[in-house]
Amino acid sequence: MYSKTSRPWLRIFLSVFFVIAIIFGYFAYRWYQRSGERTTRFFSWMRDPEGHPEWAITTGERCGDAPFQNPTSGYIGFLWGDSFRPGHRHQGLDIFGGNDSGITPVYAAYPGYLTRLPDWKSSLIIRIPSDPLKPSRQIWTYYTHLADRDGSSYIDAAFPPGTNEVLVEAGTLLGYQGNYSGDPNNPTGVHLHFSIVLDDGNGRFRNELKIQNTLDPSPYLGLRVNANENTGEVPVCGE
């Protein structure tokens, strides 16, 4: 049994534990509202994409007066700003076509100048000299996972490694969705990762792995794809 002198500490401990539990429960509930329902829906899509055609965006479609067209078809499973682990926020969109690797095509969302670095197996980046929403700045659109789990590229043959500053129009075929992660034993799942990257001020793109170097794609695509603002709805045109 606890002595009389120890009981105040027990009460303090229980009070602190209770407060922590309330705080944890609140943030867990907020996470579920923002990401948990979307994750549940994601697994439903992966099991049976043909059973949920209304969840998918359509390649080439423009939503309202948005400047970008959809770069591929499929379900937007993870949004800009989603959190997969502490300290990390998703810096783009993951669009899952619902097909096997190498089948679902990927197209340029907006005109620009395409570059593929010599060591890029699954990635392309397109320089847009004048941001359609803020013409005074330059931005970049980034496309990745265009290779199979072993690194065999699905990028169109028109853009071999080392391609630099090739003009492409909106709707140009870039390649096909793949599941390349850099580790053959840990493929990503077949999808396109698409992001809008800021310029560094010296004519180069910033590090896409950091969300602060990217832009919310919502106004560019006319879709509710900001995880902080999407309260659970499926991001498709007209929603």
Q: Is 162 left (phi over 0), alpha (psi -120 to 50) or beta?
A: left
Residue 130: domain span: 8-221
Work out how many domains the chain is built from and give that number. 1
Q: Kindly state whether residue 143 falls inside one of the protein's structural domains.
A: yes
pLDDT above 60 for 20: no
Q: Which helix (H) or strand (E) holds 30?
A: helix 7-31
Q: Kindly state whether residue 227 falls inside one of the protein's structural domains.
A: no
What is the percent of the chain where pLDDT is above 90?
74
Please give the model's pTM, rounded to 2 decimal places.
0.85
Alpha-carbon distance values, 105 to 20, 73, 178 (Å): 48, 8, 10
CATH of the domain at 20: 2.70.70.10
d(CA 159, CA 149): 20
Alpha-carbon distance values, 128 to 10, 64, 69, 163 (Å): 62, 21, 14, 16
163 CB-contact burial (10 Å; exposed 0-12 / middle 13-18 / buried 19+): middle
pLDDT tens track for 191-222 = 999 999 999 999 999 999 999 999 999 999 99
Is the CB of residue 71 less than 8 Å from the CB of residue 143?
yes
